[in-house]
Amino acid sequence: MALANRSELSFHQVTFAKGFSMEIKSENACFGGAQGVYAHASEACGGEMTFGLFLPEEAKLGPVPVLWYLSGLTCTHENAMTKAGAQAWAAQEGIALVFPDTSPRGADVVDDAAYDLGQGAGFYVNAIQPPWDRHFRMWDYIAEELPALLGRAFAVDLERQSITGHSMGGHGALTLAMGRPGQYRSVSAFSPICNPMGSDWGQKQFTSYLGDDQSLWKPHDASHQMQEVGFDGPVLIDTGTQDQFLDLLKPETLAFAIAKRRQDGHLRMQKGYDHSYFFVSSFMEDHIAFHAEALYAE
């Protein structure tokens, strides 16, 4: 069903650009608002992309602030949307939640047998190496294309954006926040990959997507970027002390960079928690309240 034919829905903008089309996969009432799943043709990724969007009740009256949630390896738009428990807290704060997919998908999209490369593992970069460069342009998709689409179709305020994510998505949230100055008011992350240049969760993927020139990797390493450019806003990081991937995540490198730069940031090691969505959901209220303060600040 094309969104352009559903303008009577109070959560959608009344007018659309000529030729604008987006497919409604599902829409469900949720905490007084609406949780939708939508598909559209993406120029950045060269094919169809799917995303989830929660709009609070306030979106019926006008544009609301936006919090982006970027998911981790092997995830789709669906994981956080159904497991993180974020909608209840976002409804309380009057904030929209965007749940993008983690990569382009489809029979014509190149893939790899490993779980940490290819479909489900876009790493939020613009690939420049074949065969990945044809579709894997997640940086442009998240930073530019999808926000523009949301602004045309839904009651969201793109002057008030913040970003968060989990694992690979935490890496993406941090690097996008520092790499796009002024776009996001606050950034947080759950168990982020903090130093991909020094980890098997990064070296392999950056070589495949970006090539051997490590100068091209640096803008996508949160610890390097934190030390070099930092973030003009508040930062919140949570990682579990029992996270089974700590040696790959390397939170100590980001802690050092935050301290060296004297960044306004909090990195918390949460005792007993692992890498799962049980961990994410346990601290989701904290993160949404953290972003709400920044999003509603004058």
What lies within 8 Å, CB to CB, of 216 at 6+ separation is 128, 206, 210
Tokens at residue 183, please?
């776009």
- Write down the catalytic residue from 101, 221, 238, 243: 243
Catalytic annotation present for 247: no
Catalytic annotation present for 275: yes
Catalytic annotation present for 243: yes
Helix (H, G, I), strand (E, B) or coil at 63: coil
CA distances to 49, 53, 60, 150, 157 from 94, rounded to whole Å, are 26, 13, 11, 17, 12
Peptide bond into 196 cis (omega under 30): no
Four-point Cα dihedral 121, 123, 124, 127, nearest 10: -90
Q: In 66-95, which positions are buried (b, 16+ CB within 10 angstroms) versus exposed (e)?
A: bbbbbbbbebbbebbbebbbbbebbbebbb
- Give the whole-angstrom CA distance, residue 109 versus residue 45: 9
- Write down the catalytic residue from 166, 220, 275, 287: 275
What lies within 8 Å, CB to CB, of 211 at 6+ separation is 128, 129
In this structure, are strands 33-42 and 47-55 parallel, antiparallel, or unpaired?
antiparallel
Residue linked to tokens 């690979």: 168
What lies within 8 Å, CB to CB, of 31 at 6+ separation is 56, 87, 88, 90, 91
Could you tell me the maximum CA-CA distance found in the chain, to the nearest angstrom?
53
Nearest to 240 by CA among 264, 258, 263, 267: 267
- Write down the catalytic residue from 167, 188, 191, 208: 167
**Eight-state DSSP code of residue 2:** B
Q: Report the catalytic residues.
A: 167, 243, 275
